[in-house]
């Protein structure tokens, strides 16, 4: 067999661009074209994108290995009829039609059944321009081409059609025909219909010249596609009638809702819709640009990034780390359920808290921002949430999922909570079990893992619950459910855990009592909006406390850090290890104590970590383990089995990383022993080696090993660091500002 010969039937923009792309990318065979317009063929030859052509199909068919149908959808059937009679059985057939069901039906009518050598396809690319002259060899580069094979499609034919598009730079995927037609009706056909209709409606008005003269940006952007080929689009709407009508019905009810909001002057309803749309649009942009999404919610799996940490560097200066993650989550939750408007400052614009924010938008809450840490929440009251259109995706955020579980168990509607791969491995039975005791109906995946299906409309009863583990998330979940329950909900904790929920509920006027180890509230109350000032997150500050504590000559001040007594284990432990750490400017903001923390380098000693400090430093152990590696003597931690069910198994992840750097350690079920590398004689040099460390997608593991670089002898490569954005956007900027050299790169 000689070189392959491809025949393109219909030499317009789409067919011509395919020919141009094949030529540009070194296609070795012959490219033929059939078009009823002889001038188009001559133009194609003159442009050098086809070798020859004809207005008649049959003379071109002999010797063709592949025929690509690029005629309008309604013209496909006539071509298929002729191919059924005249084409060789070995010739592969594909098409580029924007609807697939109608073309499949036409092929069945023409051939008697769907030939296995027919691979229906649809390149998602185009332009409002028409004709071969507009051909663009780059039209398909980085664009998707959807192929819709069925079970009987010849795998070799599928492979060759796929290779054809890949050679033009396209990303090929497969889908079934019905799904394709539905998705395209929503994302392509409906917007074209709207653009045609809007331009036509305005053009009919008398003063049209006036209108178009002043119609600038918005009109131009929205209606660009109304310049598209009318015949092609008539065909598409005839061919994809049912799916288009379904999409149009949905759209009409959306417009009707907005119309009602405009009629009623309901600014909150408008804001809720516009906000949701604006965030969804920005998310869509990031998908197109393949960038990570920090200014909105996170729903996509990131491309993996690694940190290349140069050894040494300094850790001096004065910085402020971002807002507290726990308080940020709660500010949105309570603000949304409150009556009135809650103004938040210092909000953490990390992916975890943004996921919470986005989830409330999806339940109809109007939220402005975040903009430089400012968020305005238009509270809907305890019973004002609306059923979201789909599952609520909370990404990496365990706090969001567990607190939501309690809050959603009390709603009138059903919800589904999902998360990313890491969250999907984490235990949710610890909240689902006591919630069920309260009367909630919750299904989990195997082993009590996400997703959670929560049935609404249940009458919850208060509970008196002894928590088996010290968990602020479980406590908070039950207190939030307790607001929707009959009677009193009491939660007893085996050790003190962070008390932000209790403090903030009281701040919102919802009374929570506390005596000893027990917190309780009565169901049926309400929340009143008020301002919230989120302090800087001590869990984020911890990396810098440790950075300065281990770096000879360091003098670092961290401003406005939250020092809630249930969170200061890291301060107590570092001081017990000998760190020179002082608090200044202590005061209260919105019910939470804050201070500026100054750390100067001083040699550290290994210690037995006091059991009562473990829950108070639960998120700070990755950083503290680095301090331990830099101390003299051994640091011993026990009673910390909770570390095994965080964003990763933090005991094992840290042990593996420390081992990679040459730091001796012994792992225990509930803790670890770390043999510090500093001896008693003062030595300012490196204490351990460099190496390759896997953070396992856990933000705190990634940040801990970045800081470890300060006393490493060689470069440390930290893998899988994208999730640092869940809790600490801007981490690398601060690290560099203090004097470390870290480069982020694709891995
Ligand atoms: C949190 C509680 C802690 C902590 C998490 C945030 C909270 O989890 O690790 O990062 O905001 O309530 P546990 O309740 O599982 O200990």
- DSSP assignments along 235-278, one per residue: HHHHHTHHHHHHHHHHHHHHHHHHHHHHHHT-HHHHHHHHHHHH
* Pair (148, 51) in one structural domain: yes
Mutate which of 471, 493, 643 for ligand 1? The one with the most ligand atoms within 8 Å of its CB, which is: 471
Bridge-partner residues for 171, per DSSP? 144
Structure tokens belonging to residue 143: 């664009």
Distance 523 CA to ligand 1 centre (A): 24
The closest residue, in CA terms, to atom 5 on ligand 1 is: 399
Q: Is the pLDDT of residue 129 over 80?
A: no
Percentage of the chain lying above the pLDDT 70 cut: 95
* Pair (314, 354) in one structural domain: no
Mutate which of 324, 570, 618 for ligand 1? The one with the most ligand atoms within 8 Å of its CB, which is: 618
Q: Which of 36-45, 51-60, 278-287, 433-442 has the lowest average pLDDT? A: 278-287
Q: Helix count (H) and strand count (E) of the chain?
A: 26, 32
Q: Is the pLDDT of residue 297 over 50?
A: no
What value does the mean pLDDT take over residues 248-265? 95
pLDDT score of 479: 98
Q: Is residue 232 part of a domain?
A: no
The closest residue, in CA terms, to atom 13 on ligand 1 is: 471
Q: Is residue 245 part of a domain?
A: no
What value does the mean pLDDT take over residues 143-156? 94
Domain-ending residue, one of 144, 175, 206: 175
Q: Is residue 208 part of a domain?
A: no
Distance, CA of 426 to CA of 105 (rounded, Å):
47
Q: Which of 100-109, 157-166, 195-204, 722-731 has the lowest average pLDDT? A: 195-204
Q: What is the mean pLDDT of the chain?
A: 92
**Contact predicate 328/562, CB 8 Å:** no
**Contact predicate 12/132, CB 8 Å:** yes
Distance 470 CA to ligand 1 centre (A): 9
Q: Which atom of ligand 1 lies closest to the CA of 618?
A: 9
Q: Which atom of ligand 1 lies closest to the CA of 476?
A: 12
Of 102, 573, 634, 562, the residue nearest 327 (C-alpha)? 562
pLDDT score of 114: 94
* Pair (524, 539) in one structural domain: no
Q: Report the pocket of ligand 1 as residue ranges, CB < 6 Å.
A: 326, 399, 471-473, 476, 498, 618-619, 642
Distance, CA of 586 to CA of 192 (rounded, Å):
60
What value does the mean pLDDT take over residues 273-287? 73
Q: Is the pLDDT of residue 69 over 80?
A: yes
* Pair (627, 525) in one structural domain: no
Range of the domain at 107: 5-175
* Pair (405, 554) in one structural domain: no
Q: Is the pLDDT of residue 516 over 90?
A: yes
By CB atoms closer than 10 A (0-12, 13-18, 19+), residue 707 is buried
**Contact predicate 691/716, CB 8 Å:** yes
CATH number at residue 677: 3.65.10.10
Q: How far is CA 333 from CA 406, 590, 591, in A?
A: 11, 16, 17
Of 119, 124, 103, the residue nearest 184 (C-alpha)? 124
Alpha-helix residue ranges (DSSP H) falling in 483-635: 500-507, 538-550, 569-576, 621-629
Q: Which atom of ligand 1 lies closest to the CA of 470?
A: 16
* Pair (445, 387) in one structural domain: yes
Q: Is residue 191 part of a domain?
A: no
How many CA atoms are closer than 13 Å to the CA of 59, on its beta-carbon side?
Answer: 8
For residue 338, the SS3 value is coil
pLDDT score of 205: 76
What value does the mean pLDDT take over residues 693-702? 97
Q: Which atom of ligand 1 lies closest to the CA of 615?
A: 16
Q: Is the pLDDT of residue 290 over 50?
A: no
> Where does the pLDDT of residue 312 fall: very low under 50, low under 70, confident under 90, or very high at 90 and above?
very high
The predicted model scores a pTM of 0.70
Start-to-end C-alpha separation, the chain:
43
Q: Is the pLDDT of residue 144 over 80?
A: yes
> Where does the pLDDT of residue 369 fall: very low under 50, low under 70, confident under 90, or very high at 90 and above?
confident
Distance 394 CA to ligand 1 centre (A): 15
Distance 171 CA to ligand 1 centre (A): 41
> Where does the pLDDT of residue 302 fall: very low under 50, low under 70, confident under 90, or very high at 90 and above?
very low
Of 76, 72, 24, the residue nearest 50 (C-alpha)? 24
Mutate which of 427, 473, 616 for ligand 1? The one with the most ligand atoms within 8 Å of its CB, which is: 473
pLDDT score of 287: 52
Rounded to 5 degrees, φ, ψ at 418 are -130, 165
Q: Is residue 283 part of a domain?
A: no
What value does the mean pLDDT take over residues 26-44? 95
Distance, CA of 213 to CA of 1 (rounded, Å):
60
Q: Is residue 258 part of a domain?
A: no
pLDDT score of 590: 82
pLDDT in tens, 462-507: 999 999 999 999 999 999 999 999 999 999 999 999 999 999 999 9
Per-position b or e across 536-545, b if 16+ CB within 10 A of its CB: bbbbbbbbbb
* Pair (309, 356) in one structural domain: no
Q: Which atom of ligand 1 lies closest to the CA of 472?
A: 14
Which residue reads 């869940």 in tokens?
Answer: 726
How many CA atoms are closer than 13 Å to the CA of 258, on its beta-carbon side?
Answer: 12
Q: Is residue 98 part of a domain?
A: yes
**Contact predicate 353/318, CB 8 Å:** no
> Where does the pLDDT of residue 389 fall: very low under 50, low under 70, confident under 90, or very high at 90 and above?
confident
Mutate which of 404, 498, 641 for ligand 1? The one with the most ligand atoms within 8 Å of its CB, which is: 498
pLDDT score of 565: 97
The closest residue, in CA terms, to atom 11 on ligand 1 is: 326
The closest residue, in CA terms, to atom 15 on ligand 1 is: 471
What value does the mean pLDDT take over residues 268-278? 84
What value does the mean pLDDT take over residues 273-279? 81
The closest residue, in CA terms, to atom 4 on ligand 1 is: 619
pLDDT in tens, 551-578: 999 999 999 999 999 999 999 999 999 9
* Pair (554, 437) in one structural domain: no
Distance 399 CA to ligand 1 centre (A): 6
Of 260, 278, 281, the residue nearest 269 (C-alpha)? 260
Of 679, 672, 598, the residue nearest 631 (C-alpha)? 679
pLDDT score of 1: 44
**Contact predicate 382/526, CB 8 Å:** yes
Distance, CA of 585 to CA of 594 (rounded, Å):
8
pLDDT score of 684: 85
* Pair (695, 571) in one structural domain: yes
Distance between alpha carbon 486 and the CA centroid of its chain, in Å? Answer: 37
The closest residue, in CA terms, to atom 16 on ligand 1 is: 471
**Contact predicate 363/416, CB 8 Å:** no
Q: Which atom of ligand 1 lies closest to the CA of 326?
A: 11
* Pair (21, 143) in one structural domain: yes
Structure tokens belonging to residue 404: 């939501």
* Pair (555, 685) in one structural domain: yes
Q: Which atom of ligand 1 lies closest to the CA of 330?
A: 11
| Residue 513 neighbours by CB under 8 Å, 6+ apart | 519, 520, 521
pLDDT in tens, 85-104: 999 999 999 999 999 999 99
Distance 203 CA to ligand 1 centre (A): 59
Bridge-partner residues for 53, per DSSP? 33
Q: Is the pLDDT of residue 303 over 70?
A: no
pLDDT in tens, 710-732: 999 999 999 999 999 999 999 99
**Contact predicate 268/378, CB 8 Å:** yes
Q: Is residue 269 part of a domain?
A: no
CA-based Rg of the chain, rounded to a whole angstrom? 31
CATH number at residue 110: 3.40.50.720
Q: Is the pLDDT of residue 315 over 80?
A: yes
Count structural domains, the chain: 3
> Where does the pLDDT of residue 579 fall: very low under 50, low under 70, confident under 90, or very high at 90 and above?
very high
Q: Is the pLDDT of residue 550 over 50?
A: yes
Domain-ending residue, one of 115, 149, 175: 175
Rounded to 5 degrees, φ, ψ at 497 are -125, 170
Distance 387 CA to ligand 1 centre (A): 27
What value does the mean pLDDT take over residues 3-14? 92
Distance 403 CA to ligand 1 centre (A): 10
Point out the residues that are catalytic: 619
Domain-ending residue, one of 474, 498, 529: 529
Distance 347 CA to ligand 1 centre (A): 17
* Pair (725, 604) in one structural domain: yes
Q: Which of 46-60, 116-130, 254-268 has the lowest average pLDDT? A: 116-130
pLDDT score of 682: 58
């Amino acid at each position: 067999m000689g070189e392959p010969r491809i025949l393109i039937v219909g030499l317009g923009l789409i067919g011509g661009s395919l020919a141009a792309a094949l030529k540009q990318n070194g296609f070795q065979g012959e490219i033929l074209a059939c078009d009823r317009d002889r001038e188009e063929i001559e133009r194609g030859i003159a442009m050098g994108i086809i070798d020859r052509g004809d207005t008649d199909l049959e003379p071109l068919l002999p010797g063709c290995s592949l025929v690509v149908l690029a005629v309008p959808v309604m013209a496909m059937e006539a071509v298929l009829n002729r191919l059924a009679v005249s084409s060789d059985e070995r010739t592969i057939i594909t098409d580029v039609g924007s609807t697939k069901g109608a073309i499949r039906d036409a092929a069945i009518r023409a051939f008697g059944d769907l030939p296995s050598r027919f691979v229906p396809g649809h390149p998602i690319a185009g332009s409002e321009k028409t004709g071969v002259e507009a051909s663009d060899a780059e039209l398909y580069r980085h664009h998707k081409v959807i192929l819709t094979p069925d079970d009987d499609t010849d795998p070799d034919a599928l492979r060759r059609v796929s290779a054809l598009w890949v050679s033009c730079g396209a990303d090929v995927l497969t889908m079934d025909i019905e799904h394709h037609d539905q998705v395209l009706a929503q994302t392509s056909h409906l917007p074209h219909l709207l653009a045609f209709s809007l331009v036509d409606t305005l053009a009919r008005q008398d003063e049209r010249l006036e209108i178009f003269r002043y119609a600038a940006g918005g009109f131009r952007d929205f209606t660009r596609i109304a310049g598209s080929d009318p015949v092609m689009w008539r065909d598409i709407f005839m061919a994809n009638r049912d799916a288009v009508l379904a999409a149009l019905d949905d759209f009409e009810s959306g417009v009707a809702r907005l119309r009602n909001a405009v009629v009623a002057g309901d600014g909150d309803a408008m804001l809720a819709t516009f906000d949701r749309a604006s965030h969804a649009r920005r998310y869509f942009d990031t998908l197109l640009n393949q960038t990570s999404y920090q200014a909105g919610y996170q729903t996509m799996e990131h491309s993996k990034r690694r940190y290349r940490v140069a050894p040494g560097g300094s850790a001096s200066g004065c910085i402020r780390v971002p807002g507290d993650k726990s308080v940020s989550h709660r500010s949105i939750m309570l603000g949304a359920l409150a009556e009135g408007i809650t103004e938040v400052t210092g909000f953490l614009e990390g992916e975890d808290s943004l996921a919470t924010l986005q989830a409330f938008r999806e339940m109809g809450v109007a939220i402005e921002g975040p903009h430089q840490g400012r968020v305005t929440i238009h509270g809907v009251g305890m019973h004002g949430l609306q059923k979201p259109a789909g599952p609520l995706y909370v990404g990496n955020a365990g706090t969001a999922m567990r607190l939501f579980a309690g809050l959603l168990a009390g709603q009138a509607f059903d919800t589904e909570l999902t998360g990313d791969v890491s969250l999907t491995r984490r235990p949710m039975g610890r909240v689902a079990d006591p919630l069920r005791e309260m009367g909630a109906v919750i299904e989990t995946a195997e082993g009590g893992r996400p997703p959670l299906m929560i049935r609404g409309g249940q009458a919850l009863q208060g509970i008196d619950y002894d928590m088996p583990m010290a968990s602020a998330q479980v406590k908070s979940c039950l207190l939030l459910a307790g607001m929707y329950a009959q009677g009193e909900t009491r939660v007893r904790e085996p050790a003190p855990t962070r008390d932000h929920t209790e403090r903030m509920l009281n701040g919102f006027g919802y009374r929570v009592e506390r005596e000893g180890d027990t917190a309780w509230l009565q169901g049926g109350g309400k929340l009143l909006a008020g301002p919230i000032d989120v302090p800087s997150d001590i869990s984020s500050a911890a990396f810098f406390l440790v950075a300065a504590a281990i770096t000879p000559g360091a003098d670092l001040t961290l401003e406005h850090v939250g020092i809630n007594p249930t969170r200061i284990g890291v301060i107590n432990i570092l001081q017990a290890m000998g760190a020179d750490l002082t608090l200044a400017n202590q005061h209260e903001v919105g019910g939470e104590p804050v201070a500026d923390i100054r750390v100067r380098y001083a040699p550290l000693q290994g210690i037995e970590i006091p059991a009562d400090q473990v829950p108070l430093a639960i998120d700070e152990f990755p950083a503290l383990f680095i301090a331990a590696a830099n101390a003299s003597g051994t640091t011993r931690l026990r009673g910390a089995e909770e570390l095994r069910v965080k964003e990763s198994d933090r005991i094992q992840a840290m042990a593996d990383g420390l081992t990679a750097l040459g730091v001796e350690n012994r792992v225990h079920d509930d803790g670890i022993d770390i043999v510090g590398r500093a001896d008693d004689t003062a030595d300012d040099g490196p204490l351990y080696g460099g190496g390759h460390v896997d953070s396992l997608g856990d933000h705190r593991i990634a940040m801990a090993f970045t800081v470890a670089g300060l006393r490493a002898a060689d470069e440390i490569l930290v893998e899988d660091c994208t999730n640092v954005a869940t809790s600490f956007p801007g981490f690398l900027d601060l690290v560099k500002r203090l004097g470390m050299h870290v480069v982020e790169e694709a891995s």
